[in-house]
Amino acid sequence: MKTLALSIPKDRKKVIIPLLLLPVWILIYFNLDSSIKYFVYSIINLPLENKFSDAVFFFIFESIKVLLLLVIVIFFISIIRSYFSPEKTRKFLEGKPLFAGNVLASMLGIVTPFCSCSAVPLFVGFVEAGIPLGITFSFLIAAPMINEVAVVLLFGLFGWQTALIYTGSGLIIAISAGYIIGKLKLNRFVEEWVYEVKSIKQNSVDEKISFAERIDYGYTTLKEIVSKVWIYILLGIAVGAGIHGYIPENFMAGIMGKTEWWSVPLSVLIGIPLYSNAAGIIPVMMALIEKGASLGTALAFMMSVIGLSLPEMIILRKVLKLQLIFIFIGVVGVGIIIIGFLFNIIY
């Protein structure tokens, strides 16, 4: 056995191990429901048809399911992301016309690695390359809103339809809000120093990245993201489980239902200063929808919490004047409200 392990090169091993783990993953994922049922009702022997055992089952089942999904999706998306970088994205967007540029920027926002503390240098870099403000905004709206954690949670807890609706709506908002901001010609509301920056041409050292290194990158990002969000996911699902087991049906219908027109704008307003990552908010929303909150209202609330975050606005204040920040919040907020109304009408 030892000789076999030695005869496989280390790089090759890195590719083989995830491939071997894949069937294990599939086996666990597709037998999760029955094995957790067996665990809850037979091994720890909780009574059937009981609020507490319902909540316990909900918590264990949903947490493991979501974490399983998260692991596989983050791993693969990180490998895809290792092929993209802000520099490449910028090059790709240079000289693109307004509408096509917005579409492209929103899509690139999903795959380009991005963290909100890089929002400012990225903004300056885009402006310096002559990329129009509107296109830059499309990128800055899509990148945080459509993130892998949010999409995985929606997929795991609500099903693929909702994940698709969320992604589609997010894209539409990023494209149209960016387009409108571009049309409004708001360059005067960008801090002057941004236009004065003349960056020195850097000689960057491009080391060729092997596929094994991309897999390594996948592992490190996976570890980084999961270690950051798991606690929020568990907390969110725990609160969700409580709501699932104990709050009466239709409890939320009056507050977040579709009959009250004001519920959508109010949810968006409350969502702006609330800063929670997708990991904490989505499991709670799922439970609220079960209790009568409508999909459109819940969607609007989630988008507002995830896409319009106060910390990001504060960071962006370094490059944008207050007026532009308010216009930004206004345009995106209205977009989210329209999406919320739309889904309340459709469903």
Partner 1 sequence: MLTIRVFGGDCPNCNQLEKMCFNVLAYNSMDADVQKITDIKKIAEYGIMHTPALVINNKVYCSGKLPTEKDLFRWFRLNLIESCNLQ
Residues at the contact surface with partner 1, assessed by CB under 8 A: 85-87, 90, 113-115, 117-118, 120-122, 124-126, 128, 193-194, 197-205, 217, 220, 224, 318-319
Closer to partner 1 by Cβ: residue 57 or 75: 75
CB atoms within 10 A of CB 228: 12
Distance CA 91, CA 195 (A): 18
CB of 11 to partner 1, least distance (A): 15
* Residue 139 in tokens: 């990128």
| CA distances to 79, 91, 204, 210, 213 from 207, in Å | 17, 19, 9, 9, 11
Distance CA 172, CA 165 (A): 10
Distance CA 63, CA 76 (A): 20
Closer to partner 1 by Cβ: residue 192 or 249: 192
Closer to partner 1 by Cβ: residue 35 or 220: 220
Closer to partner 1 by Cβ: residue 7 or 204: 204
Distance CA 14, CA 32 (A): 27
Closer to partner 1 by Cβ: residue 238 or 325: 325
DSSP 151-166: HHHHHHHH-HHHHHHH
Report DSSP state, residue 42.
I
CB of 220 to partner 1, least distance (A): 7
Closer to partner 1 by Cβ: residue 128 or 290: 128
CB of 93 to partner 1, least distance (A): 12
Task: Map residue 190 onto helix, strand or coil.
Answer: strand
Q: Are the C-beta atoms of residues 215 and 14 closer than 8 Å to each other?
A: yes
Distance CA 196, CA 291 (A): 54
Closer to partner 1 by Cβ: residue 131 or 308: 131
CB of 223 to partner 1, least distance (A): 11
Both ends of the chain: CA-CA distance in Å?
58
Closer to partner 1 by Cβ: residue 74 or 163: 74
Closer to partner 1 by Cβ: residue 207 or 249: 207
Using the structure block, give the residue that is written with the tokens 């240098």.
121
Task: Map residue 320 onto helix, strand or coil.
Answer: strand
CB of 204 to partner 1, least distance (A): 4
Give the max Cα distance, the chain: 70
CB of 236 to partner 1, least distance (A): 22
Q: Are the C-beta atoms of residues 142 and 110 closer than 8 Å to each other?
A: yes
CB of 308 to partner 1, least distance (A): 20
CB of 7 to partner 1, least distance (A): 24
CB of 317 to partner 1, least distance (A): 11
Distance CA 16, CA 18 (A): 6
Distance CA 41, CA 37 (A): 6
